[in-house]
Structure 1
Amino acid sequence: MSATPVVFLHRLPRWVLLAAVFVLLAVGMVGTGWVGAAGLLVLLAALAWFAYLNWPVLDGSERALRVAAMVLLAAFAAGHVIGRF
């Protein structure tokens, strides 16, 4: 199920994925309301997908770090929606 997107991402130049992460993070931090929340939620979805793919080989601290990053992104996205950030 994830093989095709993983192969597609692997064939891209390395800077493309990094640039996409920075653009989504910038949109999430600079954007207001739903625009900022959408950027953060797309970034959250990508992070969750990568965490899901790597979950079996991660130890406890690595899993906790990924979960904490996802919770933080979700909190910032929720803050954009309710107008706190």
Structure 2
Amino acid sequence: MRTGSDSSGIRATIERLSATPVVFLHRLPRWVLLAAVFGLLVVGMAGTGWVGAAGLLVLLAVMAWFAYLNWPVLDGSGRALRVAAMVLLAAFAAGHLFGRF
């Protein structure tokens, strides 16, 4: 397992810049983050066009950020699950943008 202390280059920079937002999110009550994720998902699924796509893309960006930070310590199934979830969100966002959903 890798820890943040043996990171180098761009990963170390991203981990260092992410430390403050991650601590802020960790200090929030759990329901706040859950409500934010649920709200973005509802906007993404219920919204149409750019509105729906924007909700899903914001959720995708946050998910990708967390996946990047956790990638070194994930096993194969954890990585596959995160990639599958991100591909699904991207597909739904593209569907909103191109009028499929």
- Equivalence for 1:80: 96
- Equivalence for 1:61: 77
Structure 1 position 3 matched with structure 2 position 19: yes
Structure 1 position 20 matched with structure 2 position 36: yes
TM-score using structure 1 length: 0.98
> What secondary structure does 1:61 align onto?
helix
How far the C-alpha of 1:49 sits from its partner, in A, is: 0.6
Moved over 3 A (4+): none
Amino acid at match of 1:14: R
Gaps of 5+ in 2: 1-16
Amino acid at match of 1:50: F
Gaps of 5+ in 1: none
How far the C-alpha of 1:61 sits from its partner, in A, is: 1.1
Tell me the distance in 2 between the aligned counterparts of 1:22 and 1:13.
15
**How many residues of Structure 1 are paired with residues of Structure 2 in the alignment?**
85
Tell me the distance in 2 between the aligned counterparts of 1:80 and 1:67.
20
**Alignment counterpart, residue 87 of structure 2, candidates 48, 66, 71:** 71
Q: Give the structure with higher Rg (CA).
A: 2
- Equivalence for 2:46: 30
TM-score using structure 2 length: 0.83
Identity of aligned pairs, percent? Answer: 89
Q: Note the aligned Cα RMSD (angstroms).
A: 0.5
Deviations 1:11-45 (A, max 9, x none): 11110000000000000000000000000000000
